Amino acid sequence: MSTIKHVAITGGTHGNELTGVHLLKYWREHPDEVARQSFSTELHLANPKANHLNRRYVDQDLNRQFGLNDLNNHELCGYEQNRAKALNALLGPKEDPRVDFVIDMHTTTANMGMSLIFNTDDPMVVGMAFYVQQKMPHATLFYDPNERLDDNFLTSLGRYNGFLIEVGPIPQGLLRADVYLQTREAVQHCLDFLELWNQKAVPELPSEREGYRFLEKVQLPENEAGELTAMLHPDLQDQDYQEIAPGDPFFMTLSGETIPYPGTTPVYGAFINEAAYYDAHVGLSLMEKITIPYRR
């Protein structure tokens, strides 16, 4: 069984998500809160330049730059592509990382509450998700499986992978105390879980839980000039993790006409009207409801 020796907590991976940035500042002054007996905890502001500019990124979304091939491709030399290589040198290298586990703090403008995003069915990671949800029952499990070496998220730098905490809704570029407090609490539970894991003292957890698995992103309608012609339908706004049935209101044109969901089977929405995806005209993610097993 894996033993965790080094944990990295990261924030500001997206520079205008200030919750994690300010938690890092707070913990630098109060390191006892993130210290545990059995492992060391380090704190890293992932994208200081984007944070300074109050932008999601300078050249590219940093949280898509951590695939092994991209890390080793020195023709990719945008700001975040270099920053990913620097973080790989600091926490990795990805093939044989120094850091065992990465907890990355994010926020969303969508009404996703506290979403626990993980990319592996590794029992330690699934156990952490179940443990945090036991402590914070309103949290939602968001499963997006990827092979660690191919995975392009920052969390995939950890030897035993990582865990992404995504809280919303909150506009970009500010702090909300409720979001700050929830994120702070969730990180505490993650660290507690890793401590219990190392001590082989993880408490009883359910054998399975309901969650959502990422299917695909959906584009907003646009005209031939590439301009938006419709928005998310108001009936869908803020309805993250609710069922979308065939024929349900999906988009609304700028003149106010409803466009129904064209799919043939029910799905569930997430990242509904996420501002960060707007420049690419992505309207939402479609998810399927699944049962997630915990195989200790």
E strand or H helix that includes residue 260:
strand 258-260
Does position 211 interact with its own copies (CB under 8 A)? The reply is no
**Which of 42, 95, 227, 243 is close enough to bind its own copies by CB under 8 A?**
227
Chain residues 179-198 in contact with its own copies, contact rule CB under 8 A = 180-181
Alpha carbons 33 and 31: distance in angstroms, whole number: 5
User: Using CB under 8 A, which of the segments 37-45, 81-89, 168-176, 201-209 binds its own copies?
Assistant: 168-176
Q: Dihedral of CA 281/290/112/237: which sign?
A: positive
Chain residues 106-125 in contact with its own copies, contact rule CB under 8 A = 109
Given 166, 204, 222, 257, the catalytic residue: 166
Alpha carbons 10 and 45: distance in angstroms, whole number: 6
Question: Do the beta carbons of residue 16 and residue 56 sit within 8 Å?
Answer: yes
Catalytic (active site) residue 243: no
- All residues at 6 or more sequence positions from 103 whose CB lies less than 8 Å from its CB, including other chains: 7, 8, 9, 10, 155, 162, 163, 165, 187, 190, 191
DSSP state of 18: H
Does position 34 interact with its own copies (CB under 8 A)? The reply is no
Which string of x and - marks every residue 50-89 that binds its own copies (by CB under 8 A)? ----x-----------------------------------
Bind-site residues for Zn(2+): 14, 17, 106
Residues carrying an active site annotation: 166
Contact residues toward its own copies (CB under 8 A) are: 18, 22, 25-26, 30, 54, 109, 169-178, 180-181, 227-228, 231-234, 237, 252, 254-256, 273-276, 278-279
